[in-house]
Amino acid sequence: MTDRAASDSPVSAFTARFWGVRGSIASPGPDTVRYGGNTSCLEVRCGAARLVFDAGTGIRALGALLMRQGRPVDLDLFLTHSHFDHICGLPFFAPAFDPESRLRLWSGHLPPDHTTRSVVCGMMSAPFYPIPVDTFRADCTFREFACGDVLRPAPGVCIRTGPLNHPNGAVGYRIEYAGRSLCFVTDTEHPAGGRDPAVIELVRGADVLVYDSTYTDEEYPCHVGWGHSTWQECLRLADAAGVGRAVIFHHDPSRSDAALDAIAAAAAAQRPGTLVAAEGMELVP
Ligand SMILES: [Zn+2]
Ligand SMILES: [Zn+2]
């Protein structure tokens, strides 16, 4: 079901593939086989340009595939933020250890006393990790931008950025290419009783919205202030902002395949075309 959106679409140079759809912590096991247990990682292809959003555990399998497909690997990696579930796959991303490959790592959520490099160095240091970032053999450049900046990492690719409501900050991305647009908005919490104006502005009229749907509306009252949203809020936001397809993402680690099937059915009944993100799912915005 979840691959249908891509296979029904005409061949396009603008594609997106999910490598990790889970939030908070990886959750492998028999109950998560179909939707997947890896944490946040989305690969976006814009013509020859390869963009990766987040380096959760899902990025490991992407790295292995890229190495099999042929070196050098050349890509831009954009972090939504630096919570562990969004960066902990980076030390297991094989292209980072390939001297022929070139990686550009970007973040826009950090306070002035931190940099993209200092965050990665901090993660890859004792007593948390056995080898330092200096063991990366790829040509890695670490870059920062100001949230709100417009980035142009490759010809014809425009990435708009905007702030999300999340502890320690996070960045939402809107990728525009060939007249189409896809928004990657995780992790974020909606304001009480309404929409976040900054998020509305970022996603308005987008063809696809991938959105933090960690909770259900029923679960949310026990998690106010935790920085996450609901799948029902995803649909309300999509309606309010005139979005085309909504994609439910950043699944709670305890959400089983059966529970996600039920959410998929309810969401599609309420807003036809809505998808629940699954590992391996491909979309053509
Ligand atoms: Zn997260
Ligand atoms: Zn987070």
Question: Tell me, what CATH number does 108's domain have?
Answer: 3.60.15.10
Model confidence at 256, in pLDDT bands (50, 70, 90)?
very high
Q: pLDDT-derived band of residue 193, with 50, 70 and 90 as boundaries?
A: confident
Has residue 45 been placed in a domain? yes
d(CA 11, CA 102): 28
Question: Does 202 map to a domain?
Answer: yes
Average pLDDT, the chain: 95
Q: Which ligand is nearest to the CA of 167?
A: 2
The predicted model gives 137-154 an average pLDDT of 98
* Average confidence (pLDDT) over 269-277: 98
> What is the number of other CB atoms lying within 10 angstroms of the CB of residue 169?
18
pTM > 0.85: yes or no: yes
pLDDT number for residue 105: 98
Q: Which ligand is nearest to the CA of 57?
A: 1
Centroid of ligand 2 to alpha carbon of 58 (angstroms): 16
- Is the pLDDT at 281 greater than 70? The verdict is yes
Answer for the pair 257, 34: CB distance below 8 angstroms, yes or no: yes
Q: In this structure, which ligand is nearest to the CA of 88?
A: 1
Looking at residue 227, its pLDDT comes to 98
Instruction: Using the mean position of ligand 1's atoms as its centre, give its distance from the Cα of residue 71 in Å.
Output: 30
On whether residue 102 sits in a domain, the answer given is yes
Q: Provide the residue range defining the domain that includes 164.
A: 14-283
Q: What percent of the chain has pLDDT over 70?
A: 96
H-assigned helices in 74-137: 84-87, 116-123
- The candidate with the shortest Cα–Cα distance to 84, out of 45, 54, 127, is 54
164 part of a folded domain: yes
Give the closest ligand to the alpha carbon of residue 109: 2
Assess whether pLDDT exceeds 70 at residue 68: yes
Asked, for residue 8, whether it belongs to a domain, the answer is no
- How close is the Cα of 200 to the center of ligand 1, in Å? 20
CA of 99 to the centre of ligand 2 (A): 31
Tell whether the model's pLDDT for residue 2 goes beyond 50.
no
- Give residue 85 CA to ligand 2 midpoint distance, Å: 7
Q: From ligand 2's centre to the CA of 81, what distance in Å?
A: 7
What gap in Å lies between CA 73 and CA 98, rounded to an integer?
8
Taking 50 as the threshold, does the pLDDT of residue 9 lie above it?
Answer: no
Rounded to the nearest angstrom, the distance between the alpha carbon of 170 and the centre of ligand 2 is 7
| pLDDT recorded at residue 194 | 86
Q: To the nearest 10°, the Cα dihedral for 34, 38, 40, 41?
A: -90
Q: Which residue has the higher pLDDT, 7 or 206?
A: 206
Question: CB of 186 within 8 A of CB of 249?
Answer: yes
What is the Å distance from ligand 1's center to 187 Cα? Answer: 6
Distance 152 CA to ligand 2 centre (A): 25
**Dist. CA 284 → ligand 1 center (Å):** 24
Q: Is the pLDDT of residue 280 over 90?
A: yes
Task: Compute, in angstroms, the gap from residue 109 CA to the centroid of ligand 2.
Answer: 11
How many structural domains are present in the chain?
1
The answer to the question of residue 42 being in a domain is yes
In Å, the largest CA–CA distance within the chain is 51
Q: Has residue 3 been placed in a domain? A: no
In this prediction, residue 12 carries a pLDDT of 54
1 — pLDDT class (breaks 50, 70, 90)? very low
CA of 196 relative to ligand 2 center, distance in Å: 17
Residue 71 pLDDT more than 90? Answer: no
Ligand nearest to the CA of 189: 2
Distance, CA 98 to ligand 1 centroid (Å)?
Answer: 28
In a domain, 66, yes or no: yes
Provide the 3-class DSSP secondary structure of residue 155: coil
Is residue 136 over pLDDT 60? yes
Task: Characterize the bridge pairing of strands 157-164 and 170-177.
Answer: antiparallel
**Using CA atoms, how far apart are residues 87 and 84, in angstroms rounded to an integer?**
5
Range of lowest pLDDT (10-19, 59-68, 84-93): 10-19
**Average pLDDT for residues 90-98, to the nearest whole number?**
98
